[in-house]
Structure 1
Amino acid sequence: MSNIDSHFIVPLGVEHVTVMAKIENQAHTHPWSETGLKECFGPLYRVLGIKLQDGLLGFAIVQQIIDEATLLDICVAPDKQGSGFGSLLMQQLIDDAKDAGAVVLMLEVRQSNEAAKYLYEKAGFIESGRRKNYYPTDDGYEDAILMDLALS
């Protein structure tokens, strides 16, 4: 088990996409492609990684347009989940969004993703709506839960 105190959060660049994709594929049932991840590097995006001495163990992608920030993806390697790294990354995202002038941080999450919903609720997000039958599953579709966090 890793020591949570030895972590550091850093901006990531496109050179990290291969490692990000590996974590994404391990952690999600319907992962983003490397191409999709590469498209998230540009002026509207912030991509942060959480690292330990042994390398990248998670990342998050936020898009911000004027004063609205959207968490597009947050992902921690399965063997590091439940250790508080997701919460540390989430707090950094919230702080960065506030510093960048965002008044709200929005996201959507699969209805079945209980761990992610717990992380978001613990950070203060509240459900603001639903997209019916939005996410594909192995046997159909499930709702996306829309969540918001007021930052001002």
Structure 2
Amino acid sequence: MSAVLRQPGGRFRRMGLGDVHEVMDIERRAYPFPWTEGILRDCLRVGYDCWVFEREHIIEAYAVMSIAVGEAHLLNLCVRPESQGKGLGRRLLLFLMDVARRQDADSLFLEVRPSNEAALALYRGLGFNEIGERRNYYPAERGRENALVLARSLDNVRRPHGKRRI
């Protein structure tokens, strides 16, 4: 079983405890209300699918996803601020969709801020549809912000990496 998948210009690999410091640095710079180190460590501890995309030993993007009972839930997807707008988010999301499908998930769910127009464009461009709303889900400068709940079937996810196991 390989935990590293080489890609042109970088590689995907499973996140480890040794990555937490760098991931948290990116998290704090990318979000006004970042995850805590404890949340990230808990995700690793319980065995969620935690991945990084790195180039030349620098983490460019990372994601956390849970998979259970045929469903995947994207909990966090983040691209290093200075690397945003270069297609890394799309590349990582396509990779995660493939990972979820290979683990027998038939759908992928996520929450997104309605104010996060770049993320919404990414998700909608990859076939995600709005299925609901979670009221007061995210902290915001003035109170709370709702979350849009998006979902996508994974039945027709193309497998760019063939049928290799991760």
TM-score over 0.5 for the alignment? yes
Structure 1 residue 5: Cα displacement: 3.7
1:57-78 superposed Cα distances (whole Å, 9 cap, x missing partner): 1100001112111000000011
Q: How many residues are paired up? A: 149
The letter of the residue matching 1:106 is F
Hey, which bits of structure 1, 4+ residues long, moved more than 6 A?
none
Aligned to 1:49: 52
- TM-score norm. by structure 2 comes to 0.85
1:88-118 superposed Cα distances (whole Å, 9 cap, x missing partner): 1001000000000001110001111111111
| Equivalent position to 1:23, from 21, 26, 33 | 26
RMSD, aligned CA: 1.4
Structure 1 residue 151: Cα displacement: 1.1
3-state SS in 2 of match to 1:127: strand
| Equivalent position to 1:132, from 124, 132, 135 | 135
3-state SS in 2 of match to 1:40: helix
Contact 1:58 1:76 in 2 (8 A): yes
Structure 1 residue 133: Cα displacement: 2.2
Aligned to 2:38: 35
Contact 1:67 1:101 in 2 (8 A): yes
Distance 2:128 2:46 in 1: 25
Structure 1 residue 143: Cα displacement: 1.0
Aligned to 1:68: 71
Unaligned runs of 5+ in 2: 1-6, 156-166
3-state SS in 1 of match to 2:44: coil
- TM-score norm. by structure 1 comes to 0.93
